[in-house]
Amino acid sequence: QVQLVESGGGLVQAGGSLRLSCAASGLTFSMYAMAWFRQAPGKEREFVAASSRTGTNTYYADSVKGRFTISRDNAKNTVFLEMNSLKPEDTAVYYCAAQFTYGSTVYTRKDNYAYWGQGTQVTVSS
């Protein structure tokens, strides 16, 4: 049974930093592309960042480019999202997602991903 468990969320002031983690189990982690999405109240879930299964390829939403960094440790079955220069508009529940792949593809659409975590709340105060 695949499980994704996010952690690291919290309350931070604007300009601050947080590091989210997503621990995966029940899968061969190195065979999965991984991504972070977020959902603010009353809004659709949106793409934030994605990594190919080796971490060689990454992709970011324009809104977070240059501020957020996705990385992964395949030995520890964990994907990270380092968030710097946080803004109030970054406030949302952040979800990690996983999709099996043989290649080095980076997926950016919600429906590309079969497995999801429960989410972790990030609140940025102004």
Give 34-48 as a DSSP string: EEEEEE-TTS--EEE
Q: What is the mean pLDDT of the chain?
A: 97
User: How confident is the model at residue 50, as a pLDDT?
Assistant: 98
Condensed to tens digits (0 to 9), the pLDDT of residues 69-104 reads 999 999 999 999 999 999 999 999 999 999 999 989
Condensed to tens digits (0 to 9), the pLDDT of residues 14-27 reads 999 999 999 999 99
- For residues 78 and 27, what is the distance between their CA atoms, to the nearest angstrom? 12
Residues 84, 66 contacting (CB under 8 angstroms): no
Average pLDDT score over residue span 44-57: 97
